[in-house]
Structure formats: C-alpha cells, structure tokens
C-alpha cells in the first residue's frame, strides 16, 4: 500500500488479546488510518498518533481504501 493512503478498518482478526491491544491503540473497525509505511513494521497514523505494528499484526487488520474524494 502506498504511503499516504487513507484506509478504513473493516475487521480485526486474531485472538482476544490482540484485538484488545489494537483497540487500545485506536485500531478498531470503522477507524480511519493513514499509511506512512507498509514494508517491514507498518507505520500508520491513528488520529494524531503514529503507531508501528509488525507484519504479523498488520496482516490481522483488514482494511478498505478510502476514496480520495472522501466518499462524496
């Protein structure tokens, strides 16, 4: 995924512990993220916070790309 891409979290797969940890970081279904880096540890912006997650964790987060026009 290209840096700067805006995505919306669709689903978080994984055990309860992983889902709770990501929720504490704001990565929950419906949340909008901005991808800063997708190779190696993924780096995303959640609100005003940048969060790094390893590839295994990132693979558990299913997203859809937001339209560039904001859906209008």
Give domain limits for the chain.
Answer: 6-65
Confidence class for position 71, pLDDT limits 50, 70, 90: low
Fold of 6-65: SH3 type barrels. (2.30.30)
Per-residue pLDDT, 30: 97
Where residue 16 falls among pLDDT bands split at 50, 70, 90?
very high
Beta-sheet strands, E only, within 1-72:
6-12, 32-37, 42-46, 49-53, 61-65
| pLDDT tens figures, 19-69 | 999 999 999 999 999 999 988 899 999 999 999 999 999 999 999 999 876
The pLDDT of residue 2 is 87
Residues 36 and 3: their CA atoms lie apart, in Å, by 5
Strand bridging mode 6-12 / 32-37? antiparallel
pLDDT for the residue numbered 70: 56
């Amino acid at each position: 995924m290209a840096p700067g891409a805006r995505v919306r979290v669709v689903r978080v797969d994984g055990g309860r512990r992983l889902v709770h940890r990501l929720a504490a970081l704001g990565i929950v279904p419906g949340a909008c993220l901005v991808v800063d880096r997708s190779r190696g540890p993924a780096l995303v912006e959640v609100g005003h916070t940048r969060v790094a997650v390893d590839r295994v964790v990132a693979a558990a987060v299913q997203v859809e790309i937001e339209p560039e026009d904001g859906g209008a």
